[in-house]
Amino acid sequence: QKEVEQDPGPLSVPEGAIVSLNCTYSNSAFQYFMWYRQYSRKGPELLMYTYSSGNKEDGRFTAQVDKSSKYISLFIRDSQPSDSATYLCAMSGRETSYDKVIFGPGTSLSVIP
Amino acid sequence: EAGVTQFPSHSVIEKGQTVTLRCDPISGHDNLYWYRRVMGKEIKFLLHFVKESKQDESGMPNNRFLAERTGGTYSTLKVQPAELEDSGVYFCASSHDLASEQFFGPGTRLTVL
């Protein structure tokens, strides 16, 4: 079993739709949960960061972590064509939050105008 | 402020040849990470430098890979001799400290024929 599972998509939605991206994981030691966005031919960039269980909101983006179910989600409201990218969930269980990050395989998202 | 830069952006070599990838981190970032993504797989951690010292090299696949960071500034990752399965995208990331966000470079796409 992989440490982090993520539906690779591709996912295609119309502009303005609500997008839900999800990951499951197996290692209960993970404490820090991140979502990265990666545009084509670019490196990943950090989008959201959450410690332990709970919700975090930043503009149109909401990250949710449910440690009891080992399940994390990213919601994008009012999706825009500029949101078209690959979204990678990532997590870490080390003493410091960003050390040795474990990535999911990524979900490819296309937002159609 | 300049971001993480990587050179070359793309390298095509034949099996058995040697390739050296370079990463220039953000100025002042002591932590430097190498990751790679092989075809169809997730981004995986290779190793972590703190200044010029290797903090964690548990992700290095085998002894054909050699990473250096002389002087604690830029880093090189040498693959010698390259094998077909080494093909993929090699990312470098840097951070100010272990509790800070890792900023990723655009990656080097390595193709071994």
Write out pLDDT tens, residues B50-102: 999 999 998 999 999 999 998 889 999 999 999 999 999 999 999 998 778 88
Q: Would you list the DSSP string of B58-79?
A: TT--STTEEEE-GGGS-EEEEE
DSSP of A34-63? EEEEE-TTS--EEEEEEESSEEEEETTEEE
Q: Which of B24, B42, B55 has the most A C-beta neighbours within 10 Å, making it the best mutation to test the interface with A?
A: B42
- The tens digit of pLDDT for each residue in A1-39 reads 778 999 888 999 999 999 999 999 998 888 889 999 999
Query: What DSSP state is assigned to residue B96?
Result: S
In the prediction, which pLDDT does A27 show? 87
**CA separation for the pair B50, B79 (Å, rounded):** 21
Q: How far is A86 from chain B (nearest CA, A)?
A: 12
Residue with tokens 């409201």: A77
Enumerate residues 27 to 66 of chain B having a beta carbon within 8 A of any beta carbon in chain A: 35, 41-45, 48, 56, 58-59
Count of residues making up chain B: 113
pLDDT at residue B39 greater than cutoff 90: no
Query: Residue B58: how many CB atoms within 10 A of its CB?
Result: 9
Inspect the interface and report whether the beta carbons of B99 and A96 lie closer than 8 Å.
Answer: yes
CA distance, residue A45 to nearest chain B CA (Å): 7
A45 Cβ under 8 Å from any chain B Cβ: yes
Query: Quick one: pLDDT band at residue B1, thresholds 50, 70, 90?
Result: low
For A54-102, the pLDDT digits (tens) are: 899 999 999 999 999 999 999 999 999 999 999 999 998 765 555 678 9
Put simply, whether B2 touches A (Cβ < 8 Å) is: no
B7 strand-pairing partners:
B22
What is the torsional sign of CA B60, B64, B67, B70?
positive
What's the pLDDT at A99? 66
* Contact check, Cβ <8 Å, B105/A103: no
On whether the CB atoms of residues B101 and A98 are closer than 8 A, the answer is yes
Q: What is the pLDDT of residue A23?
A: 96
Searching chain B, which residue's CA lies closest to the CA of residue A6?
A: B42
pLDDT of amino acid A98: 54
Mean of the pLDDT values across residues B12-27?
97
Residue A51 has pLDDT above 90, yes or no: no
